[in-house]
Amino acid sequence: MQQLRAIAAPPAVDYGKIPCFRPVIGRAEIEAVVEVLRSAWITTGPKVREFEAKFADFLGGGVEAVAVNSATAGLHLAAEACGIGPGDEVIVPTLTFTATGSVIRYLGAEVVLVDVEADTLAIDLDQAERRITPRCKAIMAVHFGGYPCDMTRVLSFARRHGLKVIEDAAHALPTFRDGRIIGSWESDACVFSFYATKPITTGEGGMIVTRDPQIAERARTMRSHGLSRDAFDRFRKVGASWAYDVVAPGYKYNMTDVAAALGIVQLRRVYALQASRERVAEHYFARLAGLPIDCPAPAPSGSRHAWHLFPIRVHETARATRDHLIAALTAHEIGTSVHYRPLHQMTYWRERYPWKPGDFAVADRYFAGALTLPLFPGMSDAQVDRVAQIVRRVLA
């Protein structure tokens, strides 16, 4: 404790607060939002259509894009459109945000939690192979932190077992695996998040991307109350028909034009934002070398990491624990986070799906030492140096 207090003493020089993440919102974003507000069409309308078209175009490969008000909504609609329902099971990695699994429970289906690989923190397909049951209908692949899953392996695993594939790409924009951008692979659906802390943001928002026109059509219907046509179609033209039908008890998951206007501008910056984050990550690798920590795995050759997160794992043998390190960084006004406490350790998931010690050995070991260091576009070299200096002082 004495030692921790010494470490946690306030710095002599004021380096300013370093947040864990900060979105880039420039003049163009602000002007785009104001323009929508002035246009008097503020909910789902022309900006959403434009954002969907530009997003699909950006990914290429003939995908369709369906904008929604969160990635959680998108994952829910994707799973619903894949026909997941009561009696089905879906394979989900335990190291993810709870929404990846919750949406399966919304549909009355069961989750089969699976451990991750020690180096990449991607789903462990060998364990999935052992846990699969005849009731399994789909697998969720999470591109954790922006590290691209091995999509060739995921897709062949799914084909072998007759499973649908839904990618949780909340962290993965832009991300490439073996030369192909995530979102353009042959999964059934791939879902991006535009939450405030994600690689691009609309405040709240998400995008479902699919090559399957039936999945796209079902998602479009279900994001808007199960109506056969959306409000924009109904009200756009003076004299347009009022008629619409309800074909299912749908949800209220549509994106607003205010959010889409933000998204259109952010999408223009997508490569610049990634390049800036990548630079921060490279700087961390140089500054953190030789410490008793695991740094995130870089993307394999021919692939590209989104560098949404920079999660590290403090080794068991280090002279301070993860909690001590967080306390020291907090004392120096450096923001951190933990991505994630694995689902199987959370009350709801633990009670629903009891497990034995050793079932998720990799995720448990990772979580015991895990913390996420600040990483955001425009983070300066001096800020990275500052974070690394505290980490070094605590651990070296």
Residues that bind ligand PLP (CB under 6 A): 70-72, 96-97, 99-100, 142, 168, 170-171, 193, 195, 206
List CB contacts of 295: < 8 A, sequence separation 6 or more.
Answer: 284, 285, 288, 310, 312
- In terms of Cα–Cα distance, which of 159, 275, 262 is closest to 207? 262
CB 346 within 8 A of CB 239: no
Shortest Cβ distance from residue 170 to ligand PLP (Å)?
A: 3
What is the rounded distance in angstroms from the CA atom of residue 48 to the CA atom of residue 28? Answer: 17
Strand 110-114 to 89-93 pairing? parallel
Nearer to ligand PLP by C-beta: 142 or 273? 142
The helix, strand and coil proportions of the chain, stated in percent and rounded to the nearest 5, come to 40, 15, 45
Shortest Cβ distance from residue 234 to ligand PLP (Å)?
A: 27
Nearer to ligand PLP by C-beta: 97 or 310? 97
Cα angle 387, 388, 393; round to 5: 105
Nearer to ligand PLP by C-beta: 100 or 254? 100
In order of 91, 130, 146, 377, the CA distances from 366 in angstroms are: 20, 22, 17, 26
Shortest Cβ distance from residue 194 to ligand PLP (Å)?
A: 7
Tell me which DSSP letter residue 255 carries: P
Shortest Cβ distance from residue 87 to ligand PLP (Å)?
A: 25
Q: Which of 47, 137, 164, 198 is catalytic?
A: 198
Going through 248-336 in order, the beta strands assigned E by DSSP cover 293-294, 310-314
Shortest Cβ distance from residue 264 to ligand PLP (Å)?
A: 18
Judge whether 198 counts as a catalytic residue: yes
Nearer to ligand PLP by C-beta: 100 or 127? 100
Question: CA 60, 64, 68, 70: dihedral to nearest 10 degrees?
Answer: -50
DSSP string, 95-119: SS-THHHHHHHHTTPEEEEE-B-TT
List CB contacts of 9: < 8 A, sequence separation 6 or more.
Answer: 331
Nearer to ligand PLP by C-beta: 171 or 223? 171
Shortest Cβ distance from residue 290 to ligand PLP (Å)?
A: 30
Nearer to ligand PLP by C-beta: 251 or 395? 251
The residues carrying an active-site annotation are 198
